[in-house]
Each structure stands twice: as C-alpha cells, then as structure tokens.
C-alpha cells in the first residue's frame, strides 16, 4: 500500500520537473500531447492505450441527481470504485480529477492499485500554476443510476486540489442538462 502511494507521489514529482505540454488556462486537465502529432492523440509513453469507457444503465430513461451548491460551485454525488465523493461539475475539465489526498485514501481502502496507473499529465490552473499528476483508470464511476467503467482520471500532486467531474465521464452521456432552480442535473 505504501509502495503505491510512493509511486503516485514520485510519478507526480517527475512530471513537475519535465515541463508542461498541452496545458490549458481554464483549469481543465489535459493529457500531455506530442507536439508533432496531427491527430492530438496522447503520446504512447505518457498514457497507455486506454480501454474505451463503457456506460451501464441500471434504471430506465434519464437519471436525475441532486446538486449541492457550496462556495459558488455545484457538487454532484459520485461513487468512485465504491467510494462516495462529491465532485464539482466541470464541463471544462477534460478528465475526472482527484487530489493525492483522495488517491491515498482509496489506495488504503484497496480501491486503487498500482495496476490502475496508466500514464502522466500536467495541467495549468486558472491562476497559471502548473501541477503534475498521474493518470489512472477508475474501474467504476457511478452517477445516479448510471455506471461508467474504465474511466481515466487525473491524480493531481496537490493535496488541496478539488474533485472535478470532467469530460472523461460527462462525454459518455448523450445529453446533460442543469436545472438551477431545483438544483438538479439530468443525465440522458
């Protein structure tokens, strides 16, 4: 267990020293990309080829999830590998993002293992700060009565980084709509 935590932390520190490529000022998490690639595919030595996420529907029709407004952002309850968490709904983030604090907790619980590590990334937040991270594959991401499997996520080497529900999960749905009056997000 300690070996996995050490692996994630060392991996993140190596990324910090390697420079930034493919960063975004919006705070979204972008995998490091090959500048010479015309297809913008991730560099193979940076992110292992990923299994395409699959979506399983437990119920029928749409699923509505109650959002919680806190400090000016909306948080959505999500269950990651069996662990309940509250994520900021962030359509601008390319990946689900978790901090080292959550990753360490999940490693201790046995819900993230060394085999889940698939690559590395860096991102630039809205303040211009660059943070290194590791890309991991989440076995399951449950939003309402929908379960996504094999979803990539960023583990940011910052203990205070917020939990972000990004496009690696959101893009698997046909439509997402937000009702701010009722604090409901609907996933179709």
Of 19-33, 60-74, 171-185, give the lowest mean pLDDT range: 19-33
CA distance 31 to 42: 7
DSSP H helices in the chain: 2-17, 100-109, 167-170
CA distance 125 to 5: 24
What integer pLDDT is reported at residue 148 of this predicted model?
93
pTM of the model as a whole: 0.72
More confident residue, 174 or 169: 169
Q: What is the mean pLDDT of the chain?
A: 76
3 state DSSP class of 178:
strand
CATH 3.40.630.30 is held by the domain 2-187: no
What integer pLDDT is reported at residue 18 of this predicted model?
36
pLDDT in tens, 85-96: 999 999 888 899
What integer pLDDT is reported at residue 7 of this predicted model?
54
Structure tokens at 158: 């910052």
3 state DSSP class of 128:
coil
The ranges assigned to domains in the chain are 2-187
């Amino acid at each position: 267990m300690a070996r996995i935590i050490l692996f994630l932390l060392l991996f993140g520190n190596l990324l910090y020293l390697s420079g930034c490529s493919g960063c975004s000022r919006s705070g979204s998490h972008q995998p490091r990309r090959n500048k010479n690639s015309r297809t913008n595919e991730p560099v193979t030595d940076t992110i292992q080829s990923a299994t395409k996420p699959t979506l399983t529907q437990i119920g029928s029709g749409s699923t509505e999830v109650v959002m919680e407004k806190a400090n000016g952002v909306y948080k959505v309850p999500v269950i990651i590998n069996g662990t309940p968490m509250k994520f900021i709904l962030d359509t601008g983030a390319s990946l689900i993002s978790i901090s080292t604090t959550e990753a360490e907790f999940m490693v201790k619980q046995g819900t993230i293992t060394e085999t889940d590590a698939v690559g590395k990334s860096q991102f630039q937040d809205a303040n211009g700060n660059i943070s290194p991270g590791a890309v991991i594959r989440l076995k399951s991401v449950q939003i309402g009565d929908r379960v996504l499997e094999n979803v990539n996520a960023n583990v940011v080497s910052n203990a205070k980084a917020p939990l972000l529900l990004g496009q690696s999960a959101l893009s698997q749905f046909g439509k997402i709509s937000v009702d701010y009056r009722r604090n409901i997000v609907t996933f179709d």
